Structure 1
Amino acid sequence: MQKNMSIIGVPMDLGQNRRGVDMGPSAIRYAGVTERLENLKYNINDLGDVPVSRPDEKDHVQDGNLRNLQQVSDSNRQLAEWVDEQIGKDRFPLVLGGDHSIAIGSLAGIAKHYDNLGVIWYDAHGDLNSGETSPSGNIHGMPLAVNLGIGHERLANILDYTPKIKPENIVIVGARSLDPGEKELIREKGITVYSMHEIDRLGMSRVMAETIDYLKEQTDGVHLSLDLDGLDPEEAPGVGTPVIGGLSYRESHLAMEMLSEADILTSAEFVEVNPILDDKNKTATMAVGLIGSLFGEKLK
């Protein structure tokens, strides 16, 4: 992987309705992410945080079923510009969230540099809703659909192009909570999904080997979007939308270690750490441990 790395924080909690996830970037920094990466000989430039404006109470729901649309789209556009600039400088972008709506901006800034960007979506959820299918109107449940060109134009057209990614270049890992509209879209687009059922049956080693082989064949770059709620809430309690029956910390370390060995990643983001719901910063510390494994940390 590229040894020159830029860290970008996005203190976003407007893609959903639980406060606290805006403190995720600070919690991950506090848990020592910069020091961990510098010990692995990465040249780190922490750019600080993308500004996120607060809505007035009357502005919380805009354009029907989309919560905080203006603020989410504005911050994601700025994030996309920051990410685009860092890739242009040949630096690996590591984005820290914030809720998962920030993947709208990160992928907008990344995908313009690739013809066939692959995406590993490590998450309990598919995040494939739109305003028409979402039960909540929370944009953090929509970023993967938005990047496929499905959703409000203010989100889908960030940096003035759409779609950002192709459905055949997506692999979802760890899914166990999908809405009816998401299931229908997965079937319609033929998106590859390894649910917890497949992971339990096949094992994480085979799932990641198949994922890596699949994306290696057809992509010219791979982005990892890791939502900490992909892990079981017993191990990662500091997330806004926990779903029981998730991935273990050890399984997740194995996944990160295999991605490190494969050396296919060109960008990454870690999202949905909510320190208010956490236990002594356990989930942020876990995120930093996974980041260490992803970027080459070994026991021997």
Structure 2
Amino acid sequence: MLQFAYTCSVPFRFFMRDERFKLITIESDFGAGKQGAAQGPGALINELKSRNFNFIELNNPIQIHPLPSSEDGITPFGKHIAENRKLQETICTAIETILSNNSIPFILSGDHSNANGTISGVKNYFSDKRIGVIWIDAHADIHSPYTTPSGNMHGMPLAALLGINNVLVQKNNPKEISKMEWENLKQVGSKKIEPKILPSDLVYIALRSTEEEEENIIAKQNIKAFRPEEIASLGIVQVL
């Protein structure tokens, strides 16, 4: 596995506080196949406190918790999709509110499905602007209920943001409730903007583990993807 490390010799305590940043924690992991990511924000905050990190206020974050979900198994090609959609709406509203107060959201989140809500919130606020996304991940997260091999929503946020179904390589037959909630997920936010981002405004860094259906979208939409081999050749500084 290719790993990158950046070492800063300046202790955290010497970074000046920037009051524009507002911390938001999203303690959710039901979009993933395994539980645990919901504990990430709290663990990160505790670690930052132990290192005297005071660049932003850590003690009073805006906390977002999902409602309990009992629908697992009902929508196998979009597990917890209804609850996930409600959560993304909540996240989107919170991000938009922070931006409208002339603050900058600093987000500590659980599983990757929450990227739909965070990026949708940015787009809803900057509705007349193009939004660029740098996706640093081994996975493409660009499946839909029509192509997902697992049904886990953490593999679908970018497809929702791009407004893509990818039915040309469809292998699943989602239930009507999944189809309806998927359409709602693509229009998260009060302004119902779809798509939130354009393929030309998305770039992958360190992409290495994908399915055929995802590669189909990446190639068809001409989405830029830096694979580990290319990063190793060019160097991460050149890539960035």
Decide: shared fold, TM above 0.5: yes
Q: Determine the C-alpha separation between the residues in 2 that align with 1:202 and 1:187.
A: 21
Deviation for aligned residue 1:51: 2.2
Q: Which residue of 2 aligns with 1:173?
A: 205
Kindly provide the amino acid, as one letter, of the partner of residue 23 in structure 1. Answer: Q
**Pairs aligned (count):** 203
Residue ranges of structure 2 left out of the alignment (5+ in a row):
1-17, 166-181
- 8 A Cα contact 1:16 1:67, kept in partner: no
Q: Which residue of 1 aligns with 2:184?
A: 154
Q: Determine the C-alpha separation between the residues in 2 that align with 1:75 and 1:24.
A: 17
- 8 A Cα contact 1:6 1:46, kept in partner: no
What is the TM-score when the length of structure 2 is the normalising length?
A: 0.79
Q: Which residue of 1 aligns with 2:48?
A: 32
Deviation for aligned residue 1:113: 2.9
1:104 aligns with 2:116: yes
Q: Which residue of 2 aligns with 1:77?
A: 89
RMSD of Structure 2 on Structure 1 (CA): 1.9
- 8 A Cα contact 1:127 1:141, kept in partner: yes
Q: Determine the C-alpha separation between the residues in 2 that align with 1:34 and 1:149.
A: 41
- 8 A Cα contact 1:14 1:71, kept in partner: no
Match of 1:116 among 123, 130, 134: 130
Kindly provide the amino acid, as one letter, of the partner of residue 187 in structure 2. Answer: N
Deviation for aligned residue 1:154: 2.2
Instruction: Write out aligned runs for 1:166-205 (5 A).
Output: 166-205=198-237
Deviation for aligned residue 1:148: 0.3
Identity over the aligned pairs, expressed in percent? 28
What is the TM-score when the length of structure 1 is the normalising length?
A: 0.64
* Bigger fraction of residues in strand: 1
- 8 A Cα contact 1:168 1:191, kept in partner: yes
Instruction: Write out aligned runs for 1:2-151 (5 A).
Output: 3-32=19-48, 37-38=53-54, 40=55, 42=56, 46-56=60-70, 59-114=71-126, 115-151=129-165
CA 35–81 in structure 1, closer or farther in 2 if over 3 Å, else same:
farther
Deviation for aligned residue 1:175: 0.6
Deviation for aligned residue 1:44: 6.3
Kindly provide the amino acid, as one letter, of the partner of residue 101 in structure 1. Answer: S
Q: Which secondary structure does the structure 2 equivalent of 1:153 belong to?
A: helix
CA 62–87 in structure 1, closer or farther in 2 if over 3 Å, else same:
farther
CA 184–195 in structure 1, closer or farther in 2 if over 3 Å, else same:
same
CA 186–77 in structure 1, closer or farther in 2 if over 3 Å, else same:
same
Kindly provide the amino acid, as one letter, of the partner of residue 135 in structure 1. Answer: P
Q: Which secondary structure does the structure 2 equivalent of 1:13 belong to?
A: coil
Q: Determine the C-alpha separation between the residues in 2 that align with 1:48 and 1:34.
A: 20
CA 6–36 in structure 1, closer or farther in 2 if over 3 Å, else same:
farther
Deviation for aligned residue 1:22: 1.1
Deviation for aligned residue 1:17: 2.1
CA 36–202 in structure 1, closer or farther in 2 if over 3 Å, else same:
farther
Residue ranges of structure 1 left out of the alignment (5+ in a row):
209-300
Deviation for aligned residue 1:43: 5.9
Which digits, 9 at most, give the CA deviation of each residue in 1:148-198, with x for residues without a partner? Answer: 012511211111221111110111101110111110000111111101111
CA 3–199 in structure 1, closer or farther in 2 if over 3 Å, else same:
farther
Q: Determine the C-alpha separation between the residues in 2 that align with 1:92 and 1:13.
A: 24
Deviation for aligned residue 1:3: 5.0
Deviation for aligned residue 1:64: 4.7
CA 74–21 in structure 1, closer or farther in 2 if over 3 Å, else same:
same
- 8 A Cα contact 1:149 1:156, kept in partner: yes
CA 120–164 in structure 1, closer or farther in 2 if over 3 Å, else same:
same
Q: Determine the C-alpha separation between the residues in 1 that align with 2:114 and 2:135.
A: 13
Q: Determine the C-alpha separation between the residues in 1 that align with 2:25 and 2:101.
A: 18
